[in-house]
A = this chain, B = another copy of it.
Amino acid sequence: MNQQYVLINGDLTLKEEAKILITDLSIQRGYGIFDFLKTIKGQPVFLDDHLDRFYFSAAELFLHVELSREALKRLIQQLMNKNNLPDSGIRITLTGGYSEDGFTPGKPNVLITQSAFTYNKENFEKGTRLVTYEYQRQLPQVKTIDYLQAIRLQTFIKENNADDVLYHGVSGISECPRSNFFIVTANDEIVTPAKNVLQGITRKNILSFSSLTTKEAVIDLDQLAKVKEAFITSTTKIILPVLKINGKPIGDGKPGTVTREIFKQLLRHQGIQ
């Protein structure tokens, strides 16, 4: 395998030597945001959507991004050229920066990393199993680095023979830690929670498909027993049918026809054969 590089504040650095000072506010106070996009055959997918959200997240935490959008794109291209990984995931992280007092933000550090990633269509058939958990992510629309609960709950997930956790709270079901959640109702309406969720890029794409009836609405926990199909979406997963929730099959426990149709449309939309 070739040596991999990352960019720290625009400087190319070998991944295994890429370090920041421990006074950084991500280490001291978990303060930072990021975004994550994929590349297919050397082309970033939905790059502008991801950059829109990156700048939005930064602004929500009062972190100033010195780099213009064009400068950021150039850096991403530079890293892609250097690493020569046509199919990859690219993460852009913006931290709270080096803090004198361990609390006041400094000048943000910009970390851009890339890792090999090839989407595997066969995952679709395997689907996924969820277990519900009462929790509301803080600042849900902001892609912060806070995954405390998601990581802490890995043991709980395994104990419940599930692959991931589905959060719910006072306003019903929200999302999984790293993906959005959808149901297909008895009359083939595709519904996703309206509030308190991250505005996922794949979620946005599905909501914009004109050939399907989609809507954002409240989904109560007790609705799950009646849904025909359910699925989750993310940049890396694209779409995964939810086959079980809390051990109970969704529909007949196999990927449903509506989910399959959306999957097809998404693959076409992203240029995946």
Copies of this protein in the assembly total: 2
Tell yes or no: A28 within 8 A of B by CB: yes
Query: A18-B22, A105-B151, A151-B96 are contacts. A145–B111 as well, Cβ < 8 Å?
Result: no
Assess the A139–B148 pair: CB atoms within 8 A: yes
User: A-side binding surface: helix, strand, loop or mixed?
Assistant: mixed
Complex CA distance for A91 and B22, rounded to whole angstroms: 12
Tell yes or no: A21 within 8 A of B by CB: yes
Complex CA distance for A25 and B151, rounded to whole angstroms: 10
Q: Say which size band chain A's interface belongs to.
A: 35 or more
Assess the B30–A148 pair: CB atoms within 8 A: yes
CB neighbours of A15 from chain B (8 A): 23
Tell yes or no: A152 within 8 A of B by CB: yes
Tell yes or no: A8 within 8 A of B by CB: yes
Tell yes or no: A147 within 8 A of B by CB: yes
Considering the complex, give the chain B residue whose CB is closest to the CB of A103: B151
CB neighbours of A149 from chain B (8 A): 138-139
Assess the B103–A147 pair: CB atoms within 8 A: yes
Assess the A28–B148 pair: CB atoms within 8 A: no
Considering the complex, give the chain B residue whose CB is closest to the CB of A17: B21
Assess the A146–B146 pair: CB atoms within 8 A: yes
Q: Which of B26, B62, B152, B155 contacts A152 (CB 8 A)?
A: B62
Tell yes or no: A193 within 8 A of B by CB: no
Interface centre among A18, A103, A146 (most CB of B within 10 A): A146
Min CB distance A165 to B, Å, is: 13
CB neighbours of A113 from chain B (8 A): 22
Tell yes or no: A6 within 8 A of B by CB: yes
Q: Which of B18, B30, B62 contacts A32 (CB 8 A)?
A: B30
11 A-B residue pairs with CB within 8 Å: A18-B21, A18-B23, A19-B21, A27-B32, A28-B93, A29-B145, A30-B32, A30-B145, A103-B147, A105-B151, A139-B152
